Amino acid sequence: MDTSPLPDSIFRSLVHFAPDGFLVADHAGVIVYANAQTEPLFGYTRDELIGEPIERLIPQDLRAIHMEHRADYREAPRARAMGSLMALRARRRDGSEFPVEVSLAPVYTDDEMFVSATVRDMSAQRHLEEERQRLLGEVQVQRERDRIAGDLHDGVMQTMYGVGLRLTGILGRATGLGQTEHLDIEETIGYLEAAIVDVRRYVQDLYPLEFDGDLRSSLESMVRVFETDSAVRASFDCDVEACDLDQARGFELFLLVREALSNIRRHAEASSVIVRLHEEEGALILGVVDDGVGFDTSRSFDGHFGLPNMRRRARTVGAEFEVQSAPGDGTRVMLTVPLALPAKS
């Protein structure tokens, strides 16, 4: 078995074209080598980096402490595995900062020690972690919503039903009541029944509808359930057989439509609503249109009607989001998702 070392030219090529940034600094922290990847990573040419202090690539607020760490490392040099330093930041030429992982290793010559640093841009990984945390947060919120919905349904609503039945029974057995007292009890029973309807609507909003992985069928089921529960005439208009849409994006659109329908039930006073899904010029067009009271879109309404949540979900799937409305003219929530759809047969 040939165990001869790689030729120096091959070794230099491997380092030079490595996918991570690779820097070598002398005992004073001056950069003496930078590989090709450092140029897109930091925005400097290699010639601009050679001879510069390593702190040029460190954010201003971290430079003093980095110089202390560099001095400590010079006293006790050792290989440090990538990822052993947490929440590190680097600085680009334009002043922007980005998260990195760095591994250090001492490099010795006959008369001097150098320090090599492998630098990896962690922006994509950080984004994925933030998205994972956001999804975990949504799961935790939904679990709490489920718990509250169960408490309302099995506890509060059942108690209210019981109170209503008792009042009705008492009214039926009572004798000697004047007309005013009789009407007061009937009115109280009416208030209680209205409160039960409100609680039922809250429970319906808290319990999630099922997303089966297919946006079309899930929206169709949602519209059918909405019409049954809200007494608002609802229809689903779709000319798309299958969406070239991953489940994560489909789920976000599903939740966005659910939010829009919830707003209609609570605020719109609508008699009809249409959910439309179709293809137009290579994009997926999703709309929720109602004939309700509408509102003035020229006024600030970001804090109302769940619009911030809908906008956030639209951004998540890369969709254009538009709300069209006017007092007395209903509301139209429109999304344009720039995704290719399978060719129709």
- Residue 232 within a domain: yes
- Residue 338 within a domain: yes
- Residue 2 within a domain: no
Among 37, 4, 179, 202, which Cα is nearest to 118's?
37
Pair 219, 336 in one domain: yes
Pair 109, 142 in one domain: no
Total domain count for the chain? 3
The answer to whether 243 and 284 are in contact (CB under 8 A) is yes
Q: What is the DSSP letter of 344?
A: P
- Give me the CATH number covering residue 223: 3.30.565.10
Pair 69, 189 in one domain: no
Pair 228, 345 in one domain: yes
Asked if residue 322 has pLDDT above 90, the reply is yes
Q: Which residue has the higher pLDDT, 81 or 300?
A: 81
- 208, 231, 265: which is the final residue of a domain? 208
Pair 138, 116 in one domain: no
Q: Given this model, what pLDDT does residue 343 score?
A: 45
pTM exceeds 0.75: no
Asked if residue 164 has pLDDT above 80, the reply is yes
In the chain, the percentage of residues whose pLDDT exceeds 70 is: 87
Average pLDDT over residues 38-53: 95
Boundaries of domain holding 285: 210-345
Average pLDDT over residues 318-332: 92
- Residue 181 within a domain: yes
What is the b/e burial string over 231-249, where b = at least 16 CB atoms within 10 angstroms of the residue's CB? ebebebebebeebebeeeb
